[in-house]
């Protein structure tokens, strides 16, 4: 009986993969007179696969998939007698060796064996920090009382189906701490929100707007010239992006209710999970085009004798005023986190300082100087090695490094832009030579997989060697 369920899942995986790649084999053909097996849509194929995964999970087969064939053996647990207990936040020992774990173009949070497999492999490769997504596209990836009260839904629906007993954050904390890994939840979307999300539809007054009254974020606002260009999408890429929001807006960081929402999400994670901190990134910001909503305009007028904000969103004083308001909220976040957990790490992962301030109104240099940030992981996603090195040498990074641990965010590839290990190794070595505090890779699924230039086993061995080398 159980073997029959395994065969069914294997068959659906096979059909699904060959449909996506447009290939057929003797297993996907019946006879020359019969039609190929072909779902009516990619969504149907994905639903079939998901239901099969849920069936296996409910039948208690999860442990069967955690064999040596799918997951390396867990390393020895961290002693709770001599070392930090699970209830105590962990700190990075030596250099930061982190990775972002996302829900986009990734199965790690959805497959029943995804998280144990990932943590087992990361521990064996000598990683020490996880940055798992917990807030994305107006939904949480843990059980959120705040969102349940606001929208009636406490967790992403697919996550609820695939994790009926323990949500992903609980599982990551439990397994990660057993391996001695820090778990720092990543509030990836920050103030960014799909315009068709429940939060945006129920509270349009929380949205900020551009000068023309539009709530919509300009396309490619968060793709800089350093990001790799898009290539023509195939069936697999279209599937991975099939549920990506096409219209994004921005919650107003100055609106008290929006601030209450973000504080509520952060505090409940710290209260309900034994996490080691929280991470905010480049979406905890305000794109320069925004700020012309009625609430912000009224606030500005109240402080400028009735004068309206400049029509030019890039006006220096207008940028400074909005950036100052965002910085005040960062101060509040710092105070609330430390009141709940004085030893929790407040990590921020922005773009380089000049770009962050001019285009995102994110003055992280002030945040570091004021002591509101405990750890900085700056995103340097550059294919050009000379450009990468120039960024490392810039004064804002060097100044921050004299105050707090500063790691470098390194891109390990995307589905459409695979990156060879040689580039990754070169960038890690350069970061070490400049005496930075470590690295974090974006993202888990492109560390090693069948979509990377090298075979997964070879990539894992090279990462292991990279982190065995002396710092």
Instruction: State the DSSP string of 43-59.
Output: HHHHHHHHHHHHHHHHT
- Would the pLDDT of 421 be above 50? yes
Given a contact cutoff of 8 angstroms between Cβ atoms, the answer to whether 374 and 277 are in contact is yes
pLDDT of residue 49: 55
Decide if 234 is inside a domain. no
- Would the pLDDT of 55 be above 80? no
Residues 285 and 370 in one domain: yes
Count of beta carbons in the 10 Å neighbourhood of residue 33: 5
Residues 53 and 100 in one domain: no
Q: What is the pTM for the complete model shown?
A: 0.81
* Cα gap 30→22, rounded to integer Å: 16
Residues 291 and 331 in one domain: yes
More confident residue, 146 or 91: 146
How would you list the strands of the sheet with 129-132, edge to edge? 182-183, 129-132, 96-101, 438-442, 406-411, 375-379, 345-349, 277-281, 186-187
3-state SS assignment for residue 256? helix
Residues 257 and 325 in one domain: yes
pLDDT of residue 92: 67
3-state SS assignment for residue 381? coil
3-state SS assignment for residue 469? coil
Decide if 85 is inside a domain. no
Contacts of 226 (CB under 8 A, 6+ apart): 381, 382, 383, 384, 387
Decide if 437 is inside a domain. yes
- Point out the domain boundary residue: 9, 37, 69: 69
Window from 45-59, 227-241, 374-388, 442-456 with minimum mean pLDDT: 227-241
* Cα gap 139→153, rounded to integer Å: 8
Residues 165 and 17 in one domain: no
pLDDT of residue 178: 97
Residue 415's pLDDT band, with cuts at 50, 70 and 90, is: confident
* Cα gap 159→85, rounded to integer Å: 28
Residues 10 and 64 in one domain: yes
* Cα gap 26→37, rounded to integer Å: 11
Residues 342 and 435 in one domain: yes
**What is the number of domains present in the chain?**
2
Average pLDDT of the chain to the nearest whole number: 83
Decide if 78 is inside a domain. no
Residue 244's pLDDT band, with cuts at 50, 70 and 90, is: low
Residues 322 and 390 in one domain: yes
> How many H helices and E strands in the chain?
17, 13
Decide if 389 is inside a domain. yes
Residues 24 and 115 in one domain: no
What is the residue range of 22's domain? 1-69
């Amino acid at each position: 009986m159980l073997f029959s369920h395994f065969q069914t899942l294997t068959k659906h995986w096979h059909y699904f993969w060959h449909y996506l790649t447009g290939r057929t084999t003797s297993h996907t053909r019946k006879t020359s007179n019969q039609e190929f097996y072909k779902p009516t849509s990619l969504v149907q194929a994905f639903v079939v696969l998901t239901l099969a995964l849920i069936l296996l999970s409910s039948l208690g087969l999860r442990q069967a998939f955690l064999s040596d064939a799918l997951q390396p053996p867990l390393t020895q647990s961290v002693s709770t007698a001599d070392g930090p207990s699970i209830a105590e936040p962990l700190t990075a020992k030596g250099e930061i060796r982190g990775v972002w774990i996302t829900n986009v173009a990734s199965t790690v949070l959805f497959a029943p064996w995804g998280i144990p497999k990932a943590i087992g492999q990361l521990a064996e490769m000598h990683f020490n920090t996880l940055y798992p997504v917990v807030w994305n596209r107006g939904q949480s990836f843990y059980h959120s009382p705040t969102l349940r009260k606001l929208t009636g839904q406490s967790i992403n629906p697919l996550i609820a189906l695939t994790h009926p007993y323990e949500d992903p954050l609980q599982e990551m904390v439990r397994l990660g701490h057993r391996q001695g890994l820090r778990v720092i939840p990543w509030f990836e979307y920050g103030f960014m929100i799909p315009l068709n999300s429940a939060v945006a539809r129920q509270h349009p007054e929380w949205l900020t707007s551009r000068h023309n009254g539009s709530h919509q974020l300009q396309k490619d606002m968060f793709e800089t010239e350093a990001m790799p260009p898009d290539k023509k999408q195939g069936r697999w890429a279209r599937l991975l992006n099939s549920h990506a929001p096409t219209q994004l807006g921005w919650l107003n960081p100055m609106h008290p209710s929006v601030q209450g929402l973000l504080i509520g999400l952060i505090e409940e994670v710290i209260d309900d999970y034994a996490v080691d901190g929280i991470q905010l990134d480049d979406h905890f910001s305000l794109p320069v085009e925004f700020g012309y909503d009625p609430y912000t305009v009224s606030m500005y007028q109240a402080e400028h004798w009735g004068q309206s904000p400049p029509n030019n969103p890039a006006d220096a004083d207008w940028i400074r005023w909005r950036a100052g308001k965002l910085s005040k909220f960062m101060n509040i976040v710092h105070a609330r986190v430390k009141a709940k957990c004085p030893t929790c790490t407040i990590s921020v992962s922005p773009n380089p300082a000049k770009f962050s301030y001019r285009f995102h109104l994110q003055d992280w240099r002030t945040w570091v100087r004021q002591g509101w940030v405990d750890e900085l992981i700056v995103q340097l996603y550059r294919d050009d090695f000379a450009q990468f090195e120039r960024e490392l040498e810039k004064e804002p990074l060097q100044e921050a490094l004299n105050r707090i641990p500063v790691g470098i965010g390194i891109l390990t590839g995307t589905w459409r832009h695979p990156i060879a290990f040689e580039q990754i190794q070169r960038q890690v070595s350069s970061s070490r030579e400049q005496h930075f505090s470590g690295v974090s890779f974006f993202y888990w699924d492109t560390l090693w997989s069948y979509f990377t230039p090298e075979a997964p086993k070879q990539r894992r061995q090279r990462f292991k060697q990279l982190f065995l080398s002396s710092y």
